Amino acid sequence: MHGTVRGAQFVGTHRQAAAARLMGKAQSSRSRSVTVAIAAPERPNSLPQVPGSVRKSPPVVGPTVSRDVVRGLERELDTTAQSLPALRRFHTLLEQLPADEVHRRLAPVWAELCYNLESFNPVFTAVLLKVQCTLGQSDYVRRDAALQCLIVPLAGEYGLAAEYKLGKTHRQLFADFYASVTGQPLDAFLASHPACPHAEHFFASMLNDVANGGGQADAMSQASYALGYNLAVEYLAAYEKTWMLDAFRVLNDRVLAAQGKTLDWVFLEVHAVGEPMHAELGHAAVTSMVPADHVHILRKAMHDHDRDFAAFYNACADLLEA
């Protein structure tokens, strides 16, 4: 932080000096009664537009989606989500892995999970961009509130938290957990370039959905879609990581402890505790900004993510059965 302040002071001083030099030259030119013709840079007939960002009217501040409506959308996922049965299937298979098959069956799954873990970060970044691109169309107070809620979980992925020293990134925590289960460093495993086609496909689907705003026509609708997508990511991740922690505890008690393994639980514990908190921030981002008449957009975004999340975990379950 101090380096940033000093850098800002240097830049400010540099700009002031440059301005002074320019003023001196201008005064010198006037004193010699010399007329200098300065050619203005050519300007295009029209400036490039950010897709969906053209403001046709001032932003209208109306009611936003209520917390009760958001809870109702989540209850829909609880009863209709395709991903919850897929998650149950995967974690049940994980608990029941044969002792002599744990290493072989988990190897391709580790590759998928490692890629998948990091792939969410550019998706979160894309959500932030969609909200930021409502500049001029959304109320700035509401926009700032939503952005603040979105930035906190993303910062946490890199070990950043207010009032705490810089911690390990979630990728580093995953590497510690992987090493404790397998006895091998994660970087050595990744250096062998293990295939992760399901995680790559899942990432492409997520990024395509968010980057295109779910096919919505304008920036506000695209932002609502992105916020709904983010909400589903965080809400379903709470199930995912809690059940994964429980499944590895069962596997540890049944197999890994007997093999002399001492598991580093921090990665799973941090996520099991943190994901419900992230879901709360997702709620707040939605209720801060999404217009009340965009409920149908939220619903579509949430079910789009659920569909692709289910496909990913069913594919991982297939790998555990192979």
At 209-265, the pLDDT tens digits run 999 999 999 999 999 999 999 999 999 999 999 999 999 999 999 999 999 999 999
pTM of this structure = 0.81
Q: pLDDT band for position 49 (50/70/90)?
A: low
**Number of Cβ atoms within 10 Å of the Cβ of 6:** 10
**Is 105 buried (19+), middle (13-18) or exposed (0-12) by CB count in 10 A?**
middle
- What pLDDT, on the 0 to 100 scale, is given for residue 273? 83
Closest-CA residue to 88 (of 272, 254, 251, 317): 317
Query: Is residue 175 over pLDDT 90?
Result: yes
CA 146 – CA 152 distance, rounded (Å): 11
Query: Please, what are the domains in the chain?
Result: 67-321 (1.20.910.10)
- pLDDT band for position 52 (cuts 50, 70, 90): low
Rounded-to-integer distance, Cα 81 and Cα 305, Å: 10
Which tens digit of pLDDT belongs to each residue from 111-129? 999 999 999 999 999 999 9
Average pLDDT of the chain is: 85
Per-residue exposure over 293-315, b if at least 16 CB sit within 10 Å of its own CB, e if not = ebbebbbbbbbbbbebbbbbbbb
Q: What is the pLDDT of residues 64-119, one digit of tens each?
A: 999 999 999 999 999 999 999 999 999 999 999 999 999 999 999 999 999 999 99
